[in-house]
Amino acid sequence: MTVPVLPRMMAVTAVAALAVMVVFVLVLGALTPGYSHVSQFISELGASGTRYEWQARRLGFLPVGLLLLVFCGLAVAALPRTTGVVLGLLGLALYAVGYLAASQFPCDPGCRPAAPSTSQAIHNAVGGLGYLLAPAFLLTLCESVRRWPGPAWLVHSGRAAAGLALLGLLTLSPSSPWVGLSQRLLELAVLGWVALLGMAVARQSRLTAPPRP
């Protein structure tokens, strides 16, 4: 059996978004002297004037945001169009726009200026909105999944991801020495579960697709 195109592309875009994010953060983090994944924001890799600003913005934030938006478009067409699904995907789309904002409006050096520039203010406002919505849209999506004939583990993992995203959000303080870990926890909760959702939908479609003649 083959997997229908939309579910297959959902899986591809979701997994690709996760992979691009992980690879670019690890690679640029390793190339940036003194950079700490524990105490520094991801956006500091692409802050204004930094050595790898272009790479972080154009090869990191931009493709991740575009891939997530494509995933949302595919999901609207492929998934049951319930209120929960639509609201959850709308929240994910706003989260994706945060990456696009980061690609166009870098934060100031250090990402913690006393007097933020316009670019920093836009960066914070758009990205912050996505972060605030993350626990809610993850929970909304996973509760919608509960009503499908899909795997129970997807619902349980979605609830866990929403809880981890909330933990990351509540501890995401610029003054915290663990702010980097908090941000990465939130990011991995969102991108990781979206990748699981895409793969689960593709697998379920393969199992239920009619055999080829």
- Whole-angstrom Cα distance, residue 49 to residue 210? 55
Per-residue pLDDT at 209:
41
pLDDT tens digit sequence for 95-131: 999 999 999 999 999 999 889 999 999 999 999 999 9
- Say how many domains are in the chain: 1
pLDDT per position as a tens digit, 20-48: 999 999 999 999 999 999 999 999 999 99
The dihedrals phi and psi of 189, each to the nearest 5 degrees, come to -60, -45
User: At 206, is the pLDDT very low, low, confident or very high (cuts 50, 70, 90)?
Assistant: low
Q: How many CB atoms lie within 10 A of CB 176?
A: 13
The reply to whether 213 falls in a domain is no
pTM: 0.92
Cβ within 8 Å of residue 175, ≥6 positions away: none
The answer, yes or no, to whether residue 141 has pLDDT greater than 90, is: yes
With tokens 């904002």, the residue in question is 101
- Domain range for 203 is 5-207
Q: Which run of H or of E encompasses 187?
A: helix 179-208
Summarize the confidence of residues 149-164 as an average pLDDT: 90
